[in-house]
Structure 1
């Protein structure tokens, strides 16, 4: 039996029996190395090597910064800021949900952080104004996917490493236009549904309140400007930017908004460590798995197989998108990035797609996967926050998938959407 069959087969068997993905990857790697006659220490070495990267330090720091912002009042102020911008339109609260995800995603870099932080604010508020609970929950989950597209995104850092050194600054800039397009697409969908169902408009606050809310909101969004601008213009690296994000978030929470107390920092650190440990273990296990895939020439075999199906770049890219959406429905974002990047990157580059564009296309696909059963993490977190079921929310989610898929296809076949900003700023 081929070692590649053992590796993939063992992974699938463990995954379908409910074993956590990180353990599936690690156990499948150990069993395969044993089957090939290699010592098991090889896997341990590859796991350790997978974490020996300076840019990886940015991931725990960005996670910590997002947690501090969520607890320090940033989320609520971004919601209030979005309320001023789009509240007066028909279905204004639905649009507020989209805008705040766009802004908070650009600060926290995490879809799950967005759902967990702003979901408890937005969903009850929308229900109180007459919105259906399932609609509010589905929109919260769908709009939160902007968090992995609009920088700073720790998933972009994972992709940059898996792709062999793609510029993090270019990836950050490349995510802006597709991320904003998702927000606009969801806002248009929300407006259509709001008109059909008669959802209300909202009143804009008095001028004095608008000014105060705008100042607080701009201070919160300024974090993203500092981080991305500093990286794009070469002022500091992504790792240094993540440390600055932590300091800035702590300063806002403690001294500006004054909703964060010193005693709150320890629970935030503990919770962040739990999240970081999970992410890093996934990355480490996936690194060993991906190393074996490469050694067994699985990427080469898949590339040849896909190129033998069709010579049309359009059909090839459509097939890859379909594959990624399906995989996103079954696995979490981080391990999929590490596993699929070395396999599919040679295929898409052969079809004429740049590594930067593929990174955004990959994240768009996996973002859609976050909103789908059976393993969509964002969907499950949203249902927990909204106190509803996956079945009901999935039915409501159907209305938002077309907008997300349209943005995915436009990004796939119009490279300028991802290359314009990087070519303009990063030299």
Structure 2
């Protein structure tokens, strides 16, 4: 009955469009008042102590670095570089949009931030090139999901903390899957563009243009190298890497690109603070929510239920993926990672999955939630940028949803894609 009160209250307030962090907190409070075994004081203490974690400090710093670089002209430079390589091919602008999103994903660690930063430039450029606005928006919305797959990734930080696994290993494990899915999106964009007659730009490839584009984008391209190289090389921790990313972003945007002015910093810090606070509230309330689940032994009940259905590891993995796909439609990615990692991680270990492989599969699955209604954050961001109505955008993004599902399935059944560099 306690579990019913907990989940019933949570979904009731979600249906009333209460912010998810508040809905989680209210659900925990109501459940504590209902049950004599749960102390309200214990929940309030857990709300604070759950955010008292050194690794969590990486989140506000990665958010801040992404905000700074997003204002620093990085998107234009990355697109120019991608366009040099693929712009002349059929569907070149669409493929360049995917590549630009992949590059920006290696900086922001956020799906909606990737859509906002890349979409504002790429959607008008694609429309001017003759692309249908619905398809142009769908390309950006879908490729923005790569923001939490390609490292650095905020949900990977949360999974690492929740599962007590190496955040650095998770970052390394996300590289190949992220690139792999990006390539699948580019392949679909090419064939769709060929069908619709979207030609490339009438410019020949020259090494002069290539080196010029690389030179203009060189400071942006160094960000993922510094972050991942520093972590993997043992120079600094993921949290320290986030701080280094902020300092580097400030230097590049303010002094090298010279596109961030002193007056811009108020807005940058304000947006970063609001985003960070929202995530930290979710982390605190989701942790309290998860604590109640553990006290009621709900994770063990769910694990036993999965294992009672089948002993085949592939079948169980597919069941987990299906559950996460549904969860991603209704629950914010950060909250889903914190709540369901303690529930599903033991099941994954029991069927013999590598912890890093499971973490990446979980993140990729939840990333699809960015383009699936009713939550679908990327859909709302993309619709706001382009003006395309939500029903039309959902229809346009369906082929990319299928591409993401294909990529997810292959990543799930081929662990080597994740573990190649580990």
Return the TM-score normalized by structure 2. Answer: 0.97
CA contact 2:167–2:238 (8 Å) conserved in 1: yes
Return the TM-score normalized by structure 1. Answer: 0.96
Q: Report SS of the residue matched to 1:12.
A: helix
1:425 alignment counterpart: none
Deviation at 1:402, TM superposition (A): 2.0
Structure 1 gap segments, 5+ residues each = 423-427
Deviation at 1:206, TM superposition (A): 6.4
Cα 1:80–1:397 change in 2 (3 A) is same
1:138-149 mapped onto 2 (5 Å cutoff)? 138-149=138-149
Deviation at 1:392, TM superposition (A): 0.4
- C-alpha distance after superposition, 1:180-231 (max 9, x if no partner): 0111000000000011000011225765443222112232011111001110
- Whole-Å separation in 2 of the counterparts to 1:198 and 1:169: 43
2:45 alignment counterpart: 45
CA contact 2:84–2:209 (8 Å) conserved in 1: no
- Whole-Å separation in 1 of the counterparts to 2:262 and 2:11: 45
Question: Is 1:364 aligned to residue 347 of structure 2?
Answer: no
CA contact 1:332–1:376 (8 Å) conserved in 2: no
Pairwise CA RMSD? 1.2
Q: Report SS of the residue matched to 1:399.
A: helix
- Whole-Å separation in 2 of the counterparts to 1:199 and 1:213: 24
- Whole-Å separation in 2 of the counterparts to 1:269 and 1:191: 39
1:216-235 mapped onto 2 (5 Å cutoff)? 216-235=216-235
With 7-16 and 322-331 compared, the bigger mean Cα shift is at 7-16
CA contact 1:106–1:221 (8 Å) conserved in 2: no
- Whole-Å separation in 2 of the counterparts to 1:240 and 1:22: 27
2:20 alignment counterpart: 21
With 107-116 and 118-127 compared, the bigger mean Cα shift is at 107-116
1:8-407 mapped onto 2 (5 Å cutoff)? 8-37=7-36, 38-163=38-163, 165-202=164-201, 203-204=203-204, 208-407=208-407
CA contact 2:87–2:96 (8 Å) conserved in 1: yes
Deviation at 1:40, TM superposition (A): 1.5
- Whole-Å separation in 2 of the counterparts to 1:405 and 1:333: 17
- C-alpha distance after superposition, 1:142-201 (max 9, x if no partner): 1111110111111110111111x2001100000011100111000000000011000011
Q: Report SS of the residue matched to 1:374.
A: coil
Cα 1:289–1:204 change in 2 (3 A) is farther
Deviation at 1:73, TM superposition (A): 0.9
Count, aligned residues? 420
- Whole-Å separation in 2 of the counterparts to 1:239 and 1:197: 46
